[in-house]
Amino acid sequence: MALSIISVVKRAKPPWERNYVGRPCWDPKVVAICLFMKVFTARTYDGIEAYLKTNTFVGEQLKLTSLPGHSVIARSMTKMPLSYIRTISRLITFQMRRRGMDVAADSSGFSLKTSNKWFDIRIKRQSSKKDYFKLHIVIDVETNVILQFTITDWRASDSREF
């Protein structure tokens, strides 16, 4: 998994431009690799920092003696464009598909408002308005890596998304 992330991010363009004013910053690609390692290993920010310090494989592959800490990785999460995340995730998925995988697909509805339900109870009538979103998701069963996801309104069918 780590080799796939490293090779894909190294080939891609950086997620943001490096700032040359002030204190020297980390290379955006190195920070992106650490961030994707955090996401794909399902660790906390402190957990990924400890993992990267104890597991020197990533540092050796990047030819670095130290890697960004948890605060740098956390700040990068807010700077990372969603388009970059989708692109890198898609490229990692293509690499993983070459080895073969078992996937699971699911669609679930999520209601974000409870005010309509309360209003229905208060007026003792059921509203015909649908106020929920659907999350269509495909994951790799072995690694729990999210391969694809889309968020749609309640009218979207599963067959179009998968």
138-158 pLDDT tens trace = 888 877 777 778 888 766 666
Sign of CA dihedral 16, 143, 50, 61: negative
- Percent of the chain predicted with pLDDT > 90: 19
Which of 51, 70, 98 is the last residue in one of the domains? 98
CA atoms within 13 A on the CB side of 114: 0
Predicted TM-score of the model (pTM): 0.65
| Confidence check: pLDDT of 114 > 60 | no
Residue 93 sits in the same domain as residue 143: no
Residue 113: partners with Cβ closer than 8 Å, 6 or more residues away: 131
Residue 109 sits in the same domain as residue 77: no
Residue 94 sits in the same domain as residue 107: no
Which tens digits make up the pLDDT trace of 31-80?
Answer: 999 998 898 888 999 999 999 999 889 889 989 999 999 999 999 888 88
* pLDDT on residue 55: 87
Q: Which domain holds residue 119?
A: 103-161
Residue 113 sits in the same domain as residue 151: yes
Which of 51, 66, 98 is the last residue in one of the domains? 98
Domain count, the chain: 2
Query: Is 140 in contact with 102 (CB distance < 8 Å)?
Result: yes
